[in-house]
Structure formats: structure tokens, C-alpha cells
């Protein structure tokens, strides 16, 4: 019997790539999204596929799915600062009520549940790289707390359902990811820099640009997520690319790739913006036999090509 997969937030950047992955593996896929940040365009190519179903629904409200469900992947949430600062209460609700609803459904259906958590649970970390046993340095009442604490609560809720109700659960802590289907005005560094460079607008670097990030190409990420789902690991696992780069260097690379004449301008660093971000992926390597394959230059070329195609459309 073919597996049935419910992907909550399936019309989003990462969720839509997961829909593609499970369709390619011969699964039946239900994509659920309220389109607050997701786009129908991300899944348009799947809408006529008989193994794919789209349901427009806010997962913070009661979820009802007929028949069996084998896997539930909870990727529903605004995920970029520009989004969760615009939608602070929906972000808190989808991390709390949405996670509760999804776990309740997983319990009833006896489905395996996977939570999309985030490197943001580490806050502005005091160690680098960040390991899964690091508890983080998060400001719960700062503007970013609506996302950070929602995800931390979601992890706690997931582990509670695993321990008390014996639900089969997974937790993936996703580090900075990029690639096709990111929105032009996503607010994160790579889509910002690329869209600004292609439009010959000033490249906005916050602070002095010395803060670091580690960027994972989306195909590597979804491969790691699938490996985690198929494993028996119920504790959190970092999935990301450990190669660290300053944001100023990233801006200069994108200027070169786009052959842009844009100049770099500097603006104040946002409140609680992390100075470093780099995953320790030792656990993923050992347990999942996973590591990223796509280097930054290769992934950026593909991403720039995508943004160019969107700009022409």
C-alpha cells in the first residue's frame, strides 16, 4: 500500500520541495496551507496529479483528514523575520495550537510526525558551531521571540506527545536554507541580495556584515529531512551546511555572480540578530549518514537563475 503524507505548510518554499520529493517517491500527498506566506505557484505543477491534493486550511484550527495518514510533516509557519514580525500572533498560534492539532491528528491516525524546528531555537548562540545539546540564548520577550519561543514550545510539545502518548516523532532543526521558490521579498539575506542586485538597487547589509551564516541548498535539506523521517531518531537533529561565511562576503559573491553594479550600503543590526550561525552536523552524519553535497557557488548560480526567470515572467 502506498504511503499517504500530509505536509502542513506544503505551499511554502521548503514544503513545496517536500511535496515534489514524496510525489517522486510514489506517495499520495496532501498539501495543507492557508497561503499566508505560501504560494499556489509553488505547487501549480502538481495540482493535476491524481496523487496530489491541496487543502486550504489554517492548521491552528481543528484539522480533519478522512482515511489513513502515514506521515505528518509540520512545516506551517512564517519563517523569515519580515514575516513573523508582520504576523506575530499567527506565528505563536501555529507553533502552539498548530503543533497541538497536528500531534493530535498523528496520535489518532497512528502516523509518524515530523516537526520542522529551526536553528533559531539557539537564539544568539554563545557557542559555535551549535550542537543539539546546546539549550540556546534566546530573548523570550524580544521581537524575534514570537518565532523562537513558538518553535521551542513546539519541540517541547512534540517530545511530550512522544513520551506520554507514544507518538512516533522526529524533530529537524533547520539551518539557513536557500534555493528556487524563495520569495523575492522574503527578507532573508540571499533573496534580498539577489533581488537587489538584479534590480540594480543598493545591497543592504546589516551591521558591519561580519556576522556569519551557513547556507544549505534546498535539495540537500529535503534529502536530510527524508533521511530523518525514515530513521528511528526521536531527539532533535541539526540539518544544514556547516560551511560558514560572513554576510558581507556573501553580498560580494552575489554581486559578482549577477554582474551587478549595485553598491553595498550598511544599516543598523536588527534587535537580537544572531552574530554567528553554524550547525554541528556530527549527529546527522553518524545517525543518518547524511551530509550536504551542493557547494555555495553551485547553489547560488541555480538560485540566481531562478530569480532571473521570475523577474522575466
All cell numbers assigned to 95: 507553533
How does pLDDT run across 132-169, given as a tens digit for each residue?
Answer: 999 999 999 999 999 999 999 999 999 999 999 999 99
Q: What is the pTM of this model?
A: 0.97
Q: Are residues 122 and 235 in the same domain?
A: yes
Q: Are residues 37 and 147 in the same domain?
A: yes
Q: Are residues 49 and 100 in the same domain?
A: yes
Calculate the alpha carbon distances from 312 to 80, 124, 218, 234, 309 in Å. Answer: 25, 38, 23, 44, 5
State the pLDDT at residue 206.
93
Domain containing residue 139: CATH number: 3.40.50.720
Q: Above 80 in pLDDT, residue 242?
A: yes
State the pLDDT at residue 270.
87
Q: Are residues 146 and 203 in the same domain?
A: no
Number of domains in the chain: 2
Q: Which residues pair with 52 in a beta bridge?
A: 29
Q: Are residues 206 and 222 in the same domain?
A: no
Q: Above 80 in pLDDT, residue 241?
A: yes
Q: What is the mean pLDDT of residues 182-203?
A: 94
Q: Above 80 in pLDDT, residue 313?
A: no
State the catalytic residue, choosing from 84, 122, 147, 217.
147
Sign of the CA dihedral 242, 125, 154, 46? negative
Q: Are residues 19 and 133 in the same domain?
A: yes
Q: Are residues 226 and 252 in the same domain?
A: no
> Reduced to 3 states, what is the DSSP secondary structure of residue 302?
helix
> Reduced to 3 states, what is the DSSP secondary structure of residue 200?
coil
Q: Which residues pair with 174 in a beta bridge?
A: 118, 239
CA distance 289 to 11: 28
Active site residue 147: yes
Q: Do 65 and 57 contact (CB within 8 A), yes or no?
A: no
Q: Please tell me what DSSP assigns to residue 247.
A: H
Q: Are residues 124 and 259 in the same domain?
A: no
Q: How confident is the model at residue 177 (pLDDT cuts 50, 70, 90)?
A: very high
State the pLDDT at residue 185.
85
Q: Are residues 26 and 45 in the same domain?
A: yes
Q: Are residues 8 and 132 in the same domain?
A: yes
> Reduced to 3 states, what is the DSSP secondary structure of residue 295?
coil
Residue 184 maps to a domain: no
CA distance 209 to 65: 46
Q: Are residues 131 and 196 in the same domain?
A: no
Domain encompassing residue 170: 4-178+218-242+282-288
Q: Are residues 158 and 233 in the same domain?
A: yes
Amino acid at each position: 500500500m502506498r504511503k499517504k503524507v500530509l505536509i502542513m505548510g506544503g505551499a511554502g518554499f521548503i514544503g513545496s520541495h517536500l511535496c515534489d520529493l514524496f510525489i517522486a517517491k510514489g506517495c499520495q500527498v496532501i498539501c495543507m496551507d492557508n497561503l499566508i506566506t505560501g504560494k499556489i505557484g509553488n505547487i501549480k505543477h502538481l495540482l493535476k496529479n491524481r496523487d496530489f491534493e491541496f487543502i486550504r486550511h489554517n492548521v491552528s484550527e481543528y484539522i480533519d483528514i478522512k482515511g489513513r495518514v502515514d506521515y505528518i510533516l509540520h512545516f506551517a509557519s512564517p519563517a523569515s523575520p519580515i514575516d513573523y514580525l508582520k504576523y506575530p500572533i499567527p506565528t505563536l498560534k501555529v507553533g502552539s495550537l498548530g503543533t497541538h492539532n497536528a500531534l493530535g491528528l498523528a496520535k489518532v491516525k497512528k502516523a509518524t510526525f515530523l516537526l520542522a524546528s529551526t536553528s533559531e531555537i539557539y537564539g544568539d548562540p554563545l557557542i559555535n558551531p551549535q550542537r543539539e545539546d546546546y539549550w540556546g540564548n534566546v530573548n523570550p520577550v524580544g521581537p524575534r521571540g514570537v518565532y523562537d519561543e513558538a518553535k521551542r514550545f513546539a519541540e517541547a510539545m512534540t517530545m511530550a506527545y512522544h513520551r506520554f502518548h507514544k507518538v512516533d516523532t522526529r524533530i529537524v532543526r533547520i539551518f539557513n536554507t536557500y534555493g528556487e521558490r524563495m520569495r523575492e521579498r522574503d527578507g532573508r539575506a540571499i533573496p534580498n541580495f539577489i533581488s537587489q542586485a538584479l534590480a540594480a538597487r543598493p545591497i543592504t547589509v546589516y551591521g558591519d556584515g561580519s556576522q556569519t551564516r551557513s547556507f544549505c541548498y534546498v535539495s540537500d535539506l529535503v534529502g536530510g529531512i527524508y533521511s530523518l523521517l525514515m530513521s528511528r531518531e526521536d531527539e532533535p537533529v541539526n540539518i544544514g551546511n556547516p560551511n560558514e561565511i560572513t554576510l558581507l562576503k556573501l553580498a560580494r559573491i552575489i554581486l559578482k555572480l549577477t554582474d551587478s553594479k549595485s553598491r553595498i550600503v550598511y544599516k543598523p543590526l536588527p534587535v537580537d540578530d544572531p552574530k554567528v550561525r553554524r550547525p554541528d552536523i556530527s549527529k546527522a552524519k553518524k545517525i543518518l549518514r547524511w551530509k550536504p553535497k551542493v557547494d555555495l557557488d553551485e547553489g547560488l548560480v541555480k538560485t540566481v537563475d531562478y530569480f532571473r526567470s521570475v523577474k522575466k515572467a
